[in-house]
A and B are shown apart, each in its own frame.
Chain A
């Protein structure tokens, strides 16, 4: 069960970090062209932080207060590295990848709940 929870944590962190990165002009320009549209940065940042928080919540819910935060921090590092690599080598993939990671991560939920 734990590998599935780790995968869910990474998927949520990846989507969250991607939202945070795309709320910055520099990465928005590379990944989507142009500056971040006015009024878009704040909701994207809120969504990004909310996804990171959700990842922490799922980690704690399944792994407890001792293992959960450790696992979440590991997932943060792994997902952060993925976002940096995508931004550096294939920036236009970032948004599709994040939009894909979210449903894929959530698709793991039934497997986790049934396990």
Chain B
């Protein structure tokens, strides 16, 4: 029987955190990287340089390409070029089940660009909520883990008795366990508003997936209607089943500019080969916290305006503001640095918590560690060092794989999983006092090697100047140095006798201490 509310909360915090910790660490790391998704994509496609392109002409070139690929598609999407992404990104699909084909086109020629094939920052972004699994399965797993994360956060707050008194406390010089506990508390408490916000808004972002029953009951089989009535998308038309001719998209873009005030970010075309074809112009988010894109729908035959979406009610508006807070698109450079920092602190909270769980349960003296503890230790090293090693390998593969390699984008992702798996496997097979320092040292070396490898492979004839990716290079060096410092600290621990409190605390006592 466990006595006391706080004690049961400590138990709940320790075990709920352990259960989802490894997934959450991966979600935090890839999500934090996603704040710089477009910068990562730019770095991974160094061949693309900013050009001025007329949006109307770009739309027509995209449509011409798609007409050749799949004239009878269910949908096309044409993302117009921007200075950050100076290419026409097109997507086409025959059914909502996929497959979703995509290509990057040169805005000047309308043909596929010479840029290397890569998923860029989109891979890390999708991994953040789908874990490279079948999309629905991945989203459900991430959602379940996020729900447990909320449980761990709230039980952690209850468990932590002295939030204010220990607010600034980080005792590195006392016992190992005390140091990890303080680090866990500091990263958790200082980032607490962010952690709570990001977990909650992450769940509401996919709320209609996780809790579809309200919409399903109210709209009875016509769930699209919900999104239309909520103001999230314009009314679309079903295919008529009769062939039609798609109107040129240049005038549609011009009409969007006239009505929406500026060129749209992209156009989606539904049933392009049908008499009921619909073209939807999607605009960038207006300045504000909210994440929703105003849209205007046009008749695909005549180019006449069919309707628009963008004005949302209070409830939907609350949802779109939560989505906006989660993604942080509104944040300028300075605020984005703070979001990034908060994300790193989230990852640090999870990592220190996982390590603390194992440290607090280490057997005393020469007693051998049980299977559970060895498993947790192996998974800890495999995730906390393995995943960052995989990210660094993903970047290195982008520069080292031949540009003309077939299935190149998949090879990059293969490198990510191969190095992650390798670090995890070696760590599991050869556990020991030096495993951590060696693994962290490897991660540091991988990150530190990204700028020189990039300079040797693409840097010397980089279009747009050799200093174009200075920020990315500096970030890689900073991450690399961080991991090298961590490796040295881990190595120093091995030599020194373990400093422990006079009496060893049990795991739950440690949490409450």
Question: A residues within 8 Å of B by Cβ?
Answer: 2-3, 6-7, 17, 20-21, 24, 26-27, 66-67, 70-71, 73-78, 80-81, 83-85, 87-88
CB–CB B289/A3 < 8 A: no
Near A by CB (< 8 A), chain B positions 146-172 give 165, 167-172
Q: Give the contacting residue for A2; candidates B169, B172, B288, B335; CB below 8 A.
A: B335
Interface status of B125 (Cβ within 8 A of chain A): no
Q: Give the contacting residue for B338; candidates A17, A74, A85, A88; CB below 8 A.
A: A74
CB–CB B330/A67 < 8 A: yes
CB–CB A84/B289 < 8 A: no
CB–CB B190/A84 < 8 A: yes
Interface status of B124 (Cβ within 8 A of chain A): no
Known: A7-B334, A26-B169, A67-B289. A81 touches B345 (CB 8 A): yes
Q: How many residues of B are counted as interface, with CB atoms below 8 angstroms from the partner's CB atoms? A: 25
CB–CB B335/A6 < 8 A: yes
Q: Give the contacting residue for B170; candidates A6, A24, A70, A84; CB below 8 A.
A: A84
Rounded to whole angstroms, the CA-CA distance of A68 and B171 in the bound complex is 33
Residues of A with C-beta under 8 A to B167: 20-21, 80
CB–CB B338/A21 < 8 A: no
- Per-position binary interface string of chain B over residues 330-366, scored 1 when its CB falls under 8 Å from any chain A CB and 0 otherwise: 1011110011011001000000000000000000000
Residues of A with C-beta under 8 A to B288: 66
Considering residues B194, B332, B339, B342, which has the most beta carbons from chain A within 10 angstroms of its beta carbon? B332
User: What does DSSP make chain A's interface, helix, strand, loop or mixed?
Assistant: helix
CB–CB B168/A87 < 8 A: yes
CB–CB A81/B341 < 8 A: yes
A–B pairs, 7, beta carbons within 8 Å: A2-B332, A3-B332, A6-B335, A24-B165, A77-B338, A78-B338, A88-B170
Using CB atoms, name the residue of chain A closest to B192. A77
Rounded to whole angstroms, the CA-CA distance of A58 and B333 in the bound complex is 19
CB–CB B191/A77 < 8 A: yes
Rounded to whole angstroms, the CA-CA distance of A68 and B493 in the bound complex is 43
Interface status of B193 (Cβ within 8 A of chain A): yes
CB–CB B325/A70 < 8 A: yes
Closest 4 CB pairs of A and B: A74-B338, A6-B334, A3-B334, A80-B190
Known: A67-B330, A73-B193, A77-B194. A6 touches B169 (CB 8 A): no
For residue A20, give the distance in angstroms from its CB to the closest CB of chain B. 8
Interface status of B487 (Cβ within 8 A of chain A): no
Q: Give the contacting residue for A84; candidates B168, B330, B333, B341; CB below 8 A.
A: B168
For residue B42, give the distance in angstroms from its CB to the closest CB of chain A. 21
Rounded to whole angstroms, the CA-CA distance of A85 and B289 in the bound complex is 31
CB–CB A84/B186 < 8 A: yes
Rounded to whole angstroms, the CA-CA distance of A71 and B191 in the bound complex is 13
Q: Give the contacting residue for A21; candidates B168, B191, B332; CB below 8 A.
A: B168
Residues of B with C-beta under 8 A to A71: 335, 338
